[in-house]
Amino acid sequence: MNPQLLMFVALGGAIGAVGRFVTMSAVGHFAHGEGVFGGFPWSTLTVNVLGAFILGAVIELSALAWSPSPEIRAMVVVGMLGAFTTFSTFSMDLYYLLDRGALVSAAVYAVGSVLVCLAAFALGLYAFRLILS
């Protein structure tokens, strides 16, 4: 593994993590309230949608007008957007499955990702609840 590439990923990760914290804090400050959508995770939705948009823009920009080095691509896509949100990568993978016409694979991936991750989250939660109680 290239140490320089790892440094770029780490730098992007730091930028993405700080960006996520700042964005979620700002959205949480303005979106906190009562009513029908009180308690709705607006902050998480915002970073997921914004991250997916940025990844789409970077992919298209890279295809049409910009040829970033492998280090810059890894810094932005893996580091920055990976720390900002992993949902952007999920969205890209799902889009390409749909774009290729792999509808069954896309459905399995979408539903499976949500259900398996939810189950894994619950398993981790309950396992450590049992271990620590």
Q: Total domain count for the chain? A: 2
Domain of residue 121, residue span: 101-133
Domain check: are 57 and 7 in the same one? Answer: yes
Domain check: are 46 and 68 in the same one? Answer: yes
Residue 52 falls inside a structural domain:
yes
For residue 104, give both structure tokens. Answer: 């069954």
pLDDT tens for 72-123 read 999 999 999 999 987 888 898 999 999 999 999 999 999 999 999 899 889 9
pLDDT tens for 7-31 read 999 999 999 999 999 998 998 877 7
Which pLDDT does position 108 carry in this prediction? 93
Q: Which of 25, 12, 1, 21 is nearest to 73 (CA)?
A: 12
Residue 93 falls inside a structural domain:
no
pLDDT tens for 31-58 read 765 555 566 778 888 898 999 899 889 9
Q: Whole-angstrom Cα distance, residue 28 to residue 38? A: 11
Domain check: are 45 and 105 in the same one? Answer: no
Q: Which of 83, 107, 87, 89 is nearest to 97 (CA)?
A: 107
The secondary element (H helix, E strand) that includes residue 26 is helix 3-31
Residue 94 falls inside a structural domain:
no
Residues 19 and 85 sit within 8 Å (Cβ to Cβ): no
Place of tokens 């620590």: 132
Which pLDDT does position 37 carry in this prediction? 55
Domain check: are 20 and 83 in the same one? Answer: yes
